[in-house]
Structures are given as structure tokens and as C-alpha cells.
């Protein structure tokens, strides 16, 4: 029991409390209800238990009665101790909530609003005695997921931000995924999906694509990094980072690095994609959309770049091959920038077909890779396809151009490849609203919903989209809404007649024809579409209908000729009918 002059002891920290919470807790004023009163009550109770009057034993009945009274007092003491334990748990939970509110206030002061509605990454277990006494509700996942569209998201990814605190100077910021998640909730789409729990990817999982040194450098924080073998890190990691104009730290001129939070956020983004992809591959979920950051498709084996540290889609693909023996995987990358990291990871793999639609401009648009003649190497020749747009923004590519590329190149080859699983590096920076340096194209958000719907016709509908780039908040929210709606099987908003009648611009036609000429050596299905590249969607549909009618007419004519031939032969070939016996 503490002496009156002693300070009340501090409670032990919960293992899930972060360093920020502990620091805030130490700075907190004492609550009205302190542990001192708890200890005093405990002492009083224990004294009651110990100070049992010892009477001389006169008979067995009296002895039994005394034993029963003693046991009853013990039970009462245990009940009171249980009550005290619950009160202590209540106090700890109140303190934890106070800490989280302080953390929320500090984040909002830094320009990063935080919401814990329905999602508490730093929560006490639901089995906690105090958990039922608070208004904060936690939706526990059902024992068996519904067979529907899956979503994955985690607020820990919001902590990856530049130490300068100015999100305006960094297009890849926490508000991107927070806005998308809020939009999905506001529109009611989130409630129709199965929200799954993400996790951090292990260092071993990262190394299926990245080198060991890369995984250690960017997958660990400074505290853990000090414990690693210095030989693995090949010396100090300080030269790997640069000072940015904003005053923060980065791995290159535009890719920020936060020594405390970036490694955890990057590994969590990978782990979220892995979890969702595996649940779809094993048919626990129908399809899915991963609302994750930082993006990944630029990250190469040993090089972070373009806001990317670990290639989430590439890692998930490798693990599908290794753990589930998935035979053929299609990766479609419709981010406006070429996915150089993904191309590098599968350039010689004939079991992974990588198709990228990106602004190329003869190598003058970031990252400069993704030329049409980059088709793979060794056994992987023909399994790397770059739908490289050339011609700048005169005019910018839009719905007509992307729909034509899907009609004449992407879907014919995808159907011929016949994948067992489809992963999409779903960057939305081709959506209208992005300035020229970040894209400059004019594709509508609804168009990406239609592209998603077309991909759902492959691999038995096993399609997973993982967020990559896209920095205009309205654009990426609209596009995410359209894609999730398509994944759910909802009816999509129709295109206007103007879009249906619009022919692709001349630069787009030349770009598509160039790709068809190169790739037709490897894919027979491209030949029949080479003559209709310049058609509008309505003209192409009319052409397809006429072709189908011609095929049907030819088939009918063939059948008619065959039947006529059989009719002419019948009189000679058939025996005469015999008269029935009398």
C-alpha cells in the first residue's frame, strides 16, 4: 500500500499504445479517479478477508458453518476485486480515448484530418471488460466473408507524410485515400462491400520482387535498423536520402521519406493488396478494390522512385505464383505513367501478361520507359505490351481513345491469353482534372467503370484493383466510385451520344496501329481489328453486327446447300418401302 507522501503509481502501458500515445499520456493531468484509491480499496478488502475471527471448534456443524462463511467472504472479496479490475480498465480506456483525441487534434493542426468512425487501428480488443461501456462502436468482421466485392484500407497509411507538414507541395498525400474512403461511405457503396483487415507485408514477402538491401532500407525504421547486421546494409543509409526544397527528407527530388512512419505505411500497403488478392484468388471474395498508399508500380528491384517504395501488385503476383500456383496472371496498368517496376519484374515471364496504357510521347514523359517495342525477353517475348500514347496533348487522350484501345488491343489479347486472375494497377491520373505535368488527359471517371466491367469478363470475374497514382481529389473519388460500382455489378451511367460517335484522334490511331503491327507477331487476335482502329464506338458496333450477320448468313447458306444435297440423294439412296403383309 503506498504511503500518503508517495506519488500514485502509473499504470502499465497497453502493448498496442504507440510512442505518441505514451508521450501524451505522460503529459496528461491526473484523472479524478486514481490508482491510489484502488489500492486502498484492495487493502481494505484483503484485510476483511484476512481478519477472520478464530472461534474454538465445538462441533462439526459449527466448523462447517464457519468454513461456509469464510468461503462466502472470499467469494465477495473476489467479486469486489473483479469490480475494481473493471473500474481500472474503464479508467485506462478513458485515458486512451483522451490520448487519441489529442493525437487527432495534433494531426488536424498539421492539416491531416483523422477519422476513427468505424475503424480503430489502435483499439483495445473487443473482449476487454471496458469495451462494452463506450459509445465508440467497432464493427467486427463476420466469421465468414460475404461473397461480394472486398475493400481494404487502414488509417496507418495516413501517417506517411513529409515532415514539412505542407501537403500542398506534395501531390501524393494522405488526403487521397482518406477522400476515396469517405466517398465510398457517403455513396453507400462501402456498406455493400466486405471490408477486410489489412496487415504489414513481411520482409521475406518484399524480397520476392526487391533485393534484401532494398527491403531492409525502406522496410524498417531507424530503431529496428540499428539492430540489423551492418554488412546487410552495406554501410550507412544516410547517403540514400536527400534534402527536399520544402525542408523535408526524400529518396529523390519528389519522393518524400518519413523515418518514423514511411516504412510501416509502405509495408502495410503491400500487405493490404496481398490479403485482398488472396481472398479473391481463393474465392472468399468475388473481386476487390484496395484503397492504399504509397503507390508501387514505379518501384524497381533496388530503386524507389515516383512516390513508390515497394511494388505491391508485383509482389502479390509473385506470391500468387509461389503459394497458390496460379498459372496465368494478367496485370493491366492504366495509370497515366508507365509501370517501369512491374515491367522489370516480369519481363522474361511468359505466365504474366503485363499490359500498360500510358502517356509516352517518345520517351519524353515520366518515367521515360514503356516504348511499344519493349515486348519482353527470352521466354517472356510477347508477354509485355505497352499501349504507349504519343503526340502530347494536341489533343489530349480521352474516352474515345481509351475505349478504342480496349476494343482493338487490350481485350482481344487478354481473351486470347485467358488469365486465371486479373490485377489492375489502378492509377487515376489520366482522369480529367490533372494538370499537364501530372497527366493532362481528359478520360472521364465513368470510362474507368466501363473498362473495369470489361475486365470482369475475364478469369471468372476474379479482378482486383489496387490504387496507384491520381492526385486530383475529385477525379480520383469519382473514378473509384465508378470502379467499385462496376465491381458490385451496378448499372453504370451511359455514355453520351457525342462520346459514342466520336472517332479516336489521329495521334491515338497511329499509336494503336503501331502497337498492333508490333504485337500481331505474337497475338493472332489482333489482325481482325487492324482495319477498324479509326472507327467510333457506334461504327465499330455496326461493323461487328454486319460481320456477325454475314457469318450467320454464310452458315445458313452452307446448311441449306448441305440439306439440298441430301434431299437430292435421298430417292436413289433410300430403299423402297415394303408393302405390309396381308
Q: Give the C-alpha distances (Å, rounded to integers) separating 174 from 111, 170, 231, 312.
A: 10, 10, 35, 18
Instruction: Give residue 259's Cα distance to chain centre.
Output: 23
- Residue 222 contacts residue 259 (beta carbons within 8 Å): yes
| Cα within 13 Å of Cα(25), Cβ side | 19
Q: Among 134, 142, 133, which residue's Cα sits nearest to residue 116?
A: 134
Distance CA 17, CA 22 (A): 7
C-alpha cell at 356: 500498360
Rounded to 5°, angle at Cα 453 from 450 and 459:
150
Cβ-based neighbours of 332, under 8 Å, separated by 6 or more = 355, 356, 357, 410, 414, 422, 423, 424, 425, 455
Distance CA 104, CA 96 (A): 12
Distance CA 422, CA 460 (A): 10
> Which residues are paired to 356 by β-bridges?
333, 386
> Which active-site residues does the annotation give?
298
Distance CA 110, CA 167 (A): 9
- Residue 314 contacts residue 341 (beta carbons within 8 Å): yes
C-alpha cell at 424: 489492375
- Residue 300 contacts residue 475 (beta carbons within 8 Å): no
Peptide bond into 307 cis (omega under 30): no
DSSP string, 367-409: T----TT----GGGTTSEEEEEE-STTSSPPBHHHHHHHIIII
Ordered alpha helix ranges (H), 469-536 = 473-487, 497-501, 506-519
Strands 242-243 and 249-250: antiparallel
DSSP label at residue 442: B
Q: For 288, phi and psi rounded to 5 degrees?
A: -170, 165
- Residue 201 contacts residue 271 (beta carbons within 8 Å): yes
Amino acid at each position: 500500500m503506498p504511503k500518503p507522501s508517495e506519488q500514485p503509481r502509473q499504470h502499465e502501458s497497453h502493448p498496442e499504445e504507440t510512442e505518441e500515445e505514451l508521450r501524451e499520456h505522460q503529459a496528461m493531468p491526473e484523472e479524478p479517479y486514481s490508482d491510489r484509491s484502488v489500492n486502498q480499496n484492495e487493502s481494505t478488502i484483503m484485510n476483511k478477508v484476512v481478519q477472520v475471527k478464530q472461534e474454538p471448534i465445538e462441533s462439526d456443524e459449527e466448523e462447517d458453518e464457519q468454513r461456509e462463511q469464510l468461503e462466502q467472504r472470499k467469494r465477495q472479496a473476489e467479486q469486489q476485486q473483479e469490480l475494481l479490475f473493471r473500474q481500472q480498465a474503464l479508467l485506462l480506456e478513458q485515458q486512451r480515448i483522451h490520448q487519441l483525441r489529442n493525437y487527432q487534434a495534433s494531426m488536424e493542426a498539421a492539416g491531416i484530418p483523422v477519422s476513427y468512425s468505424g475503424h480503430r487501428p489502435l483499439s483495445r480488443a473487443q473482449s476487454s471488460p471496458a469495451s462494452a461501456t463506450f459509445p465508440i462502436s467497432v464493427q467486427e468482421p463476420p466469421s465468414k466473408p460475404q461473397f461480394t466485392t472486398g475493400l481494404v484500407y487502414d488509417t496507418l497509411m495516413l501517417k506517411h507524410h513529409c515532415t514539412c507538414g505542407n501537403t500542398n507541395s506534395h501531390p501524393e498525400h494522405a488526403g487521397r485515400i482518406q477522400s476515396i474512403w469517405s466517398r465510398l461511405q457517403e455513396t453507400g457503396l462501402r456498406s455493400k462491400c466486405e471490408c477486410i483487415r489489412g496487415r504489414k507485408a513481411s520482409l521475406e514477402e518484399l524480397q520476392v520482387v526487391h533485393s534484401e538491401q532494398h527491403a531492409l532500407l525502406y522496410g524498417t525504421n531507424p530503431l529496428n535498423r540499428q539492430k540489423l547486421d551492418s554488412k546487410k546494409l552495406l554501410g550507412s543509409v544516410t547517403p540514400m536520402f536527400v534534402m527536399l526544397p520544402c525542408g523535408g527528407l526524400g529518396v529523390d527530388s519528389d519522393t518524400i521519406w518519413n523515418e518514423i512512419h514511411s516504412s510501416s505505411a509502405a509495408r502495410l500497403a503491400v500487405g493490404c493488396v496481398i490479403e485482398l488478392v488472396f481472398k479473391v484468388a481463393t474465392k472468399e471474395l468475388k473481386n476487390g478494390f484496395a484503397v492504399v498508399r504509397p503507390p508501387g508500380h514505379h518501384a524497381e528491384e533496388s530503386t524507389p522512385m515516383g512516390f513508390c517504395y515497394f511494388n505491391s501488385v508485383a509482389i502479390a503476383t509473385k506470391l500468387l505464383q509461389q503459394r497458390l500456383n496460379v498459372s496465368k496472371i494478367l496485370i493491366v496498368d492504366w495509370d497515366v505513367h508507365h509501370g517501369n517496376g512491374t515491367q522489370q519484374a516480369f519481363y522474361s515471364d511468359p505466365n504474366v501478361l503485363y499490359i500498360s496504357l500510358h502517356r509516352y510521347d517518345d520517351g519524353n514523359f515520366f518515367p521515360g520507359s514503356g516504348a511499344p517495342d519493349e515486348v519482353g525477353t527470352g521466354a517472356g517475348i510477347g508477354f509485355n505490351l505497352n499501349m504507349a500514347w504519343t503526340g502530347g496533348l494536341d489533343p489530349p487522350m480521352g474516352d474515345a481513345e481509351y475505349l478504342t484501345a480496349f476494343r482493338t488491343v487490350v481485350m482481344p489479347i487478354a481473351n486470347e491469353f485467358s488469365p486465371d486472375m486479373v490485377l489492375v494497377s489502378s492509377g487515376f491520373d489520366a482522369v480529367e482534372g490533372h494538370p499537364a505535368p501530372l497527366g493532362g488527359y481528359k478520360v472521364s471517371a465513368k470510362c474507368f467503370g466501363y473498362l473495369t466491367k470489361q475486365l470482369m469478363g475475364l478469369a471468372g470475374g476474379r479482378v482486383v484493383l489496387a490504387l496507384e497514382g491520381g492526385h486530383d481529389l475529385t477525379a480520383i473519388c469519382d473514378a473509384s466510385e465508378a470502379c467499385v460500382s462496376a465491381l458490385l455489378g451496378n448499372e453504370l451511367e451511359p455514355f453520351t451520344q457525342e462520346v459514342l460517335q466520336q472517332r479516336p484522334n489521329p495521334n491515338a490511331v497511329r499509336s494503336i496501329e503501331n502497337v498492333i503491327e508490333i504485337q500481331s507477331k505474337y497475338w493472332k487476335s489482333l489482325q481482325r481489328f487492324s482495319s477498324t482502329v479509326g472507327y467510333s464506338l457506334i461504327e465499330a458496333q455496326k461493323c461487328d453486327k454486319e460481320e456477325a450477320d454475314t457469318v450467320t448468313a454464310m452458315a445458313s447458306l452452307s446448311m441449306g446447300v448441305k440439306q439440298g444435297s441430301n434431299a437430292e440423294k435421298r430417292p436413289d439412296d433410300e430403299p423402297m418401302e415394303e408393302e405390309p403383309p396381308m
